[in-house]
Amino acid sequence: MPAAIETQVLVAVGLAAVVTYALRLGGLLLAARFPRAGRFRQGMDALPGALLFSLVVPSIVSEGIWGVVATALTAIVALRSRNTLAAMLSGMLVIFIARKLGQ
Amino acid sequence: MKDRKSDFLRGARANVPVAASAMAYGSVLGVLASQKGLSWLDMMYMNSAVFAGAAQFVMVDMWSGHLPILEMALAVLVINLRYLLIGASLEPLFAGRGFLHKMCVMHLVADENWAVTMSEQRRGRATTWFLFGGGVFLYLAWSSGTLVGLLGGGLIKRPEVYALDFAFTAVFSALAVGLWRGKKDILPWIVAGGAAYLAHESLPGKWYIVVGGLAGAIAAMSRPCEPAGDKGEKDACGN
């Protein structure tokens, strides 16, 4: 018999789940009310790229010059091959080697 | 019907590269969770209900005999604030879909399948089923990783040694290449990157993603409206 879930776990995780789900669905539903043209639209169109770039910048910088080399190689492979897996592995290889050398 | 299935499977396949890393990190979370005394049922409940990697790490870290319920919820709110922007950016993809469909698919939106879908959308081949296929696949990879870690010890004790932590950065960078729209993105991306870096240095948690994304979008708003006919794109001013 698996242990039943404690009430406090049920509540704590449930509340965290509600918060997370509200953000996910809320963003989608809210965006339907945004203006469909003009400057606001320009901002929304730029959002995916800006978000994704923001996601990676600090972790690239924290790897120093090797982070920049790894990302440049990843971008080149992604552009040339259109293969995300190959691009990912080439970037990881640079970091793997850099860390080995740095030990 | 056939399209749904093929889009679903295509979405799952497109997430294979990043799912391997998600699984490795899931196993790390599983090990931490076993040290905190979570049962496999607690773990699966969290995986299924919350399904957000970074937030789950913080929740397990805050885990104790007497759970700090409100503090936990607040921490999760701050870490997952980026989903508000991620959700908003998915609005064009969901155009014309019913409310129930939105409710179901949005639950399984993570950074990874969102990024893969955005890149696919730029090639005109993304659908909500593609997004959903990626979400289900990531859920399976993440959950099995956490259970392996919880019940059997970590798959890989220190993923950093194999640069697995950089896997996420590399995948997101590769996908960002696909989102690049040419020279009109120069300013927004510089602003986004600069703001994200500064926020990362000065603010806790995942604020930097929100700050960078918003700063980039605002920078894009400062650009004057382009006249129609630019490579056949629709006029941004709505003309």
Mean pLDDT computed over every residue of chain B: 90
**Whole-Å CA distances, A36 to A45, B102, B148, B184, B234:** 10, 20, 46, 19, 12
Q: Residue B204's pLDDT is what?
A: 86
Nearest to B192 among A21, A41, A53 (CB): A53
| B200 vs B212: CA distance, rounded Å | 9
Q: Are residues B169 and B192 in the same domain?
A: no
Q: Are residues B17 and B118 in the same domain?
A: yes
| A21 vs B116: CA distance, rounded Å | 20
From first to last of its 103 residues, what are the pLDDT tens digits of chain A? Answer: 456 899 999 999 999 999 999 999 999 999 999 888 889 989 999 999 999 999 999 999 999 999 999 999 999 999 999 888 899 999 999 999 999 998 7
Q: Are residues B60 and B114 in the same domain?
A: yes
Nearest C-alpha in A relative to B101: A25
Q: Are residues B152 and B211 in the same domain?
A: no
* B230, pLDDT greater than 70: no
Nearest to A54 among B181, B208, B218 (CB): B208
Cβ <8 Å between B163 and A92:
yes
Q: Are residues B49 and B130 in the same domain?
A: yes
Nearest C-alpha in B relative to A36: B238
Cβ <8 Å between B174 and A45:
no
Q: Are residues B60 and B169 in the same domain?
A: yes
pLDDT tens per residue across span B62-90: 999 999 999 999 999 989 999 999 999 99
The residue segments making up the domain with residue B57 are: 2-179
Q: Are residues B122 and B161 in the same domain?
A: yes
Number of domains in chain B: 2
Q: Are residues B9 and B33 in the same domain?
A: yes
**Phi, psi values for residue A37, rounded to 5°:** -145, 175
Give the mean pLDDT of B147-161.
83
Q: Are residues B235 and B117 in the same domain?
A: no
Cβ <8 Å between A95 and B163:
yes
| A61 vs A98: CA distance, rounded Å | 14
Burial B29-43 (b: 16+ CB within 10 A, else e): bbbbbbeeebbbebb
Chain B: closest CA distance from residue A56 (Å): 5
| B129 vs A4: CA distance, rounded Å | 34
B-chain residues near A21 (CB < 8 A): 106-107
| B229 vs B239: CA distance, rounded Å | 10
Q: Are residues B173 and B119 in the same domain?
A: yes
Cβ <8 Å between A51 and B188:
no
Amino acid (1-letter code) at residue B159: P
| A52 vs A38: CA distance, rounded Å | 23
pLDDT tens per residue across span B173-223: 998 998 999 999 999 999 999 999 999 999 988 889 999 999 999 999 998
Burial B114-131 (b: 16+ CB within 10 A, else e): bbbbbbbbbeeebbbbbb
Name the DSSP class of A6. P
| B111 vs B91: CA distance, rounded Å | 16
Q: Are residues B156 and B217 in the same domain?
A: no
Nearest to A19 among B77, B176, B177 (CB): B77
| B148 vs A52: CA distance, rounded Å | 30
Q: Which residue has the higher pLDDT, B78 or B238?
A: B78
Query: Domain coordinates of chain A in residue numbers?
Result: 55-102
Q: What interface predicted TM-score (ipTM) does this complex get?
A: 0.88
| B38 vs B150: CA distance, rounded Å | 8
Q: Are residues B187 and B162 in the same domain?
A: no
Amino acid (1-letter code) at residue B175: L
Q: Residue A3's pLDDT is what?
A: 62
Nearest C-alpha in A relative to B94: A28
Sign of CA pseudo-dihedral B210, B216, B222, B227: negative
